[in-house]
Every structure is written in structure tokens, then in C-alpha cells.
A and B are shown apart, each in its own frame.
Chain A
Amino acid sequence: MRPLLARLAAGDLLVGDGALGTMLLERGLRPGQPPESLTLTRPEVLEEVARLYLDAGADLLETNTFGGSPLKLALHGLEAETERFNREAVRAVRRVAEGRAYVAASVGPSGRLAEPYGDTSATALSESFRRQVAALVAAGADCICVETMTDLVEATLAVRAAKDIAPTIPVLATMTFDPTPRGYFTIMGVTVPAAAAGLEQAGADAVGSNCGNGVEHMVAIAREFRAASRLPVVIQPNAGLPRTVGGRTVYDETPEFLADKAKELVALGVSIIGGCCGTTPDHIRALRAVVDAARG
């Protein structure tokens, strides 16, 4: 496989994978149980989901490590397992990817608020991310996906931690924005231009957005990223906002709808298009078709 950064630099267009959490819930993850705990008890489920996305045409397969930072795992009293969770999650995806897709190691928010508005020091956040990234890189991750970030301080600490631990590993950094009457902001008040500048300065190799409010908003967010940054842009939308129907969670945006809007993302020059919460292998298959058509 050609190195990821070389492909992005050459202007290639790649397909990410879809949701993991919702797939794990359908496969026995109990509500309230940290998804990371399945990594040790049922690694075959991680392989199954990765295979579904690989077969659907994903070029990047994310690991079950979104909540794998020791600060986040500490909420469940599991921080001592940081190394095992992260290592085994990378290994599970690697067994499936076998050089046909990049193993994209997920790094999500710590769940803590940074000083001065919160009680967690920059040093503590940084240490936490470094410990997680060290385990991911040692296990053979091909790139790090810092994702679903809302605080630019925390996001940049994660990016810097990754680059400190492994200066050559590609780091994709994405944040989650909400539409407001005054434009797009994260809940912490970060705009797209501020995110693009801050993440690039911290050393990110690609910037963009994941999760959020559906693909239509993502088209507008992608436009802002393309205007604000020369880095490759990553866009991984939810299949809309979750709704509960009779106790079940449903996402309304169909694979066809996502694929149709993805054409606009392609036209904007987005480099990696994938999915987040509520997206399925069918969504990724539909994206693959759009991307293949665009690549000619």
C-alpha cells in the first residue's frame, strides 16, 4: 500500500469507514458498557465489523479506541488496561486490513474539561493522549484519527502528543460543529477557520469534521475548511441526528441520500469521505461508488 500521506498529497480521494459504536450495540455491547471492553472479550466482533467495512470499500478502518485514553477509561476504573485495549484493538483491525486498508487509530475526547474553565491541566491531558498514542503506534496503527473534538485546546494537545510520540505518523484531526444562527461552532465556541488554523499549527496532516448534524451541514462545513486550509480535508458525517422510535434509535439519512450529497463533497475537493454515528456498510458502499465514479 502506498503511504497515506503520499496519496493525499497526490490529490487522491479516499473512503473512510462508518459507525462503530452503533454496530457494536447491535452485536451485544450493553448500554453504559464502555465499547473498549469488547476489545478483550470479543475481538471477533471487531474483526467482523472491520471486514464488513473493508468489503464495502473503505480505504481506512477505524479502531475501537475512541474512548481509549487513560483519562476516559478512568471513568470506568479501567485506566490500567490502556495499553491492552489500544494494542488489541489495533491488532484486530490489522488482521482484517492485511495491507488492503489503512488502520486508522481513533483518539476521542478525554471527557474532561481543560483548565481554566475545567479542572484538568494541559499536562494531564497531554500525558493521557501520549500514553494512548504510544500504545496505538507500537501496535502498528497506520494513522491517528483525533476526532469528535469540541475544544481546540484539547484537540491540539492530542495532535501534538501524537506527533511527539511518532513524528512521521499521519494525524487526521476532526472536530464536531453545530449549526447556529451565527454560523458553525463547536459547543466550546470554536469556528471552522479557528479549528483549521489551530490543528494545522499543532501538526495535523489533514483537518475536517466528523459526527454532527448530518451530511447537508457537512457540505457547508467542508466548504469552510477548504477556504480556510490547504491541508487535505476529512469529512465523516452522521446519518443525520438520532431519533428514538419505540425505544430504538434510528438515523434517517439513507445511503442514497449520503451518496448524493457526497458528490458535493467531492466537488469541493474533500480528500477523505466516510461516516460516523448511524452509518452502515451500505452507506460506505454507496460512498465507494461515488468516489470511484469521481476518480474515473
Chain B
Amino acid sequence: MAALAELADAVVRGDPAQVAALTRDVIREGVPPKEILDHGLIAGMTVVGDRFRVHEIFLPDVLLAAKAMYAGMDELKPLLVRDGIPSIGKVVIGTVQGDLHDIGKNLVGIMLKGAGFEVIDLGHDVPPERMVETAAEQGASVIGMSALLTTTMPVMGEVVALLKARRLEGVIHTIVGGAPVTEAFAREIGADAYGYDAGNAVDVVKELLGRR
């Protein structure tokens, strides 16, 4: 549908006003909300994610596209709720306790939202208990953790241990990432998965939830 392609384009260009207006247009035309989401907003963010991965565009472009996507989501959200259309999964994300770096974590949040996930972002300097409690209370199936400091990486292991202690392992999955974090480290602490960048994190979360 041409109108949805135009909407996706406006997301890629990072034009929030245009995205909001086009979303209102297609809603008025009676296009089903789920279709607007999948073939408009998510389609746009998929292009953004693909271009970002091959270094054709960079962080500022992604952040602008995300703002545009959110402008469309603000219009669409009430209809998705009204129609009882669930997100493809709920993920709690945060930068671990003692660590104030959140650009990478924010990027993961953007990419997850852009792929259709519901994201609960706890920000930075998040204590392990808060990650686990929020995920349990909100019924999230994944906790995504970020650390940019080698000194704060061990906190990720505490979250994994806490899930185990509360018998939530296997119910709430864990994925870790951040500049100093490696696949080997993820295995060492018993995390379920490792994402090497924001785009990869989305693929890995989908795999964890059996969505692909």
C-alpha cells in the first residue's frame, strides 16, 4: 500500500510531524492498526536498522528515526490497546548498577521497539533486584542488560543468579551486551544470550522467544 510505504519513508527520514500526520491519515482511511504498525512504522525502522548495521547511517539518524517512530506510535497506541493487539514480546532493559552509560542500551531499546517489542526501560545504574522485580511484576519474558565498564560487568552475573534463586530462570530470559562484554563472558555468568550490537540483540531476543 502506497500510503504505508510513504509512512515507512517518513520514519526513515526521521520526520516526526510527517509520521504523525501520515499515521492519522491511514487510521482515518480505515487501515487496520496492526497493518499500520507492521508495514508502516516497523517497516521503516527495519530499513533504519539495516542501514545502521552496514554503517550507511549512524547514531544521530537512528535517534531521529526513533523520534519519528514514537510520534506514530503515540497515534497508534490507543487503537492497538482498544483492539487488544499484543506486542510480540515484553522486554525489560537497563544499564547495570554502577554504570551510567546508556547510549548503547537506548539504541537496543529503539531497535526492539522498532521490531514490535514492548520495552520497559529502567534507565542506567539499575540494581539487580529492580531488574528482576520489574520483569516479574510486568510479566516480561526477557531482561536485557548493558554495561560499558569492565568494573560493572559482574553485576550482570548477579541478575542471572537472582533469577535462579527466585526460580525464574527459563521463564525470564537474559541477554547481555556492551562494549567490553563478550560471548564468552555471557556463558561464564550463565546468561541465556549475548548481543554484539543493537541489531543483533533484536535477532537474539527473537530467537530466545522462538519468534523466528
Contact = CB atoms under 8 A, between A and B. Distances in A.
Contacts of B125: 32
Nearest to A250: B150
Nearest to B56: A182
Contacts of B150: 242, 244, 249
Interface centre among B64, B67, B100 (most CB of A within 10 A): B100
B60 interface: yes
B32 interface: no
A31 to B, nearest CB: 3
A111 B95 CA distance: 14
Interface residues of A, number: 24
A117 B60 contact: yes
Interface in B93-107: 97-100, 103
A118 interface: yes
Contacts of B97: 32
Interface residues of B, number: 26
Nearest to B16: A116
A117 B67 CA distance: 8
B64 A117 contact: yes
B63 A113 contact: yes
A180 interface: yes
A117 B103 CA distance: 12
A181 interface: yes
A31 B150 CA distance: 9
Interface in B75-114: 97-100, 103
B167 interface: no
A242 B63 contact: no
B151 A31 contact: yes
A187 B59 contact: yes
A225 interface: no
Contacts of A249: 150-151, 180
Interface of A: 25, 31-32, 75-76, 111, 113, 116-118, 151, 180-182, 185-189, 242-244, 247, 249
Closest 3 CB pairs of A and B: A189-B58, A31-B151, A32-B98
